[in-house]
Each structure stands twice: as C-alpha cells, then as structure tokens.
Amino acid sequence: MIFDIIYLLLLLTGIIILMENRLGRVIALCSVQGILLCGPVFQVYSPSEFHSWALTALILVFKTFLTPYILFYYLKQVRLFEHVKPRFGYQVSIFLFLIGLFAALNISRSIHDMPVHIDRIGLIYVILLIYLGILTFIASRHWIVLIIGFVMFENGVFLLTLILHKGLPFGTEIVSFADAFLVIVAAAVLQKKVDTFKNISGSRE
C-alpha cells in the first residue's frame, strides 16, 4: 500500500511539473521526486542488502541534492526566477495526458510477466512518469524545464528497469547517474555562454 502511494506521488509531482509555470517550484518538485525514488528501491531490494543502500545514496546525491542545487545556483547567478510559458495551455496538456494514460493502460496489459511484489497500477504510474518527462520536454520553451523533463524521463526509465528487472548492474547505474549530472552541468555552462554572448552583443549595439 505504501509503495502505491509513493508511485502515485511520483506521478502527481510529474503532473504538477508539467503544469507549473514558476521555475523555483519546478526545481523543488524535481528534488521531491528524487526523494520519492528511494521508496521503490526498498520494494525491490532488501534493506539488509548493500546494493539497496548504495543505490539510495546515489539517488539522494545526484537526484535530490546535486541536480536541484546546480539549477538553483544558476538561477541565482543570472536571476532567472520568473514565470515560464509553455508551448500549449492546460487544456491541451490534459488532453495529451489522457492519451498517455490510455497508452499506459494498453502497455501494462501487454506485460504478462510481472514481478510478484509489483502491483500493475505501479507499472502504469511509472509508464506515465516516462511519458510526462517526454511531454514536459516537448511542451516547455525554457531550457531549465527541458532539463527537468529529461530528468523526469530518466527517473521513469530508472524505475521501470528497477521494478521489471531488479535493476541494472551497479557500475551501469553509477554511469547513468553521472551521465545525467554531466548533461545538466553542460547545459548550464552552455546557457551561461549564450547569455554572456547576448550581453556582449547588446553592449556593442
């Protein structure tokens, strides 16, 4: 029961991220989603296993702390705390979400070999989380929200792998977290260079 609530909260944070138009709240919700990811780890692995605690530590370091910290730090540096405008409104977003819900139900029905301890409703939530990540990436105009969409997509893929196959090899998991972290750092550096170039061009004019 508790794990179903965690999966539901993961889905709800994804929906709010899609609908929210304030950058600070979007980043905070990304951090909350990172904390919630720790729950399914103990659904699959025993608390007595070293792998479960090592994986939880990776989640807390990369997804709960480092990712939001880097994004918040950059926002403070360039003073980007502002409202963001999505490519389409709430009604279109809800319509697209309903399409994703219908697709997730069909995908879950096609998967017959479910782990004994995993509820099918949890699988639906995870598939929807992946879809929300893609939808956030498509719907947003702001580069920070694009990164959040990528992170949410990666969170969903991580959970799907975790619940269906008892996780990836530990070394591969480390590379996956590090890869996401490097994408965020690279995007922040690139955007800062773009802003610097704009300021130089504006001063010349």
- Averaged pLDDT of the chain: 77
**pLDDT at residue 29, as a whole number:** 92
For residue range 69-84, list pLDDT tens digits in order: 888 877 776 665 566 6
| Percentage above 70 pLDDT, the chain | 72
For residue range 123-172, list pLDDT tens digits in order: 889 889 999 988 888 887 777 788 888 888 888 888 888 877 654 555 44
132 occurs within a structural domain: yes
Nearest CA to 26 among 160, 147, 173, 177? 147
Residue 32: pLDDT band by 50, 70, 90 thresholds? very high
40 occurs within a structural domain: yes
202 occurs within a structural domain: no
205 occurs within a structural domain: no
170 occurs within a structural domain: yes
Residue 203: pLDDT band by 50, 70, 90 thresholds? low
Burial, 153: exposed, middle or buried (Cβ in 10 Å; 0-12, 13-18, 19+)?
buried
54 occurs within a structural domain: yes
Provide the number of structural domains found in the chain. 1
Backbone angles phi and psi of 83, in degrees to 5: -80, 145
Average pLDDT over residues 97-109: 85
Residue 198: pLDDT band by 50, 70, 90 thresholds? low
Q: Which residues contact 37 (CB under 8 A, 6 or more apart)?
A: 10, 59, 63, 155, 158, 159
**pLDDT at residue 129, as a whole number:** 92
* Per-residue pLDDT at 199 exceeds 60: no
94 occurs within a structural domain: yes
Residue 48: pLDDT band by 50, 70, 90 thresholds? confident
Domain that holds residue 155: 2-197
Q: Which residue has the tokens 């990811």?
A: 37
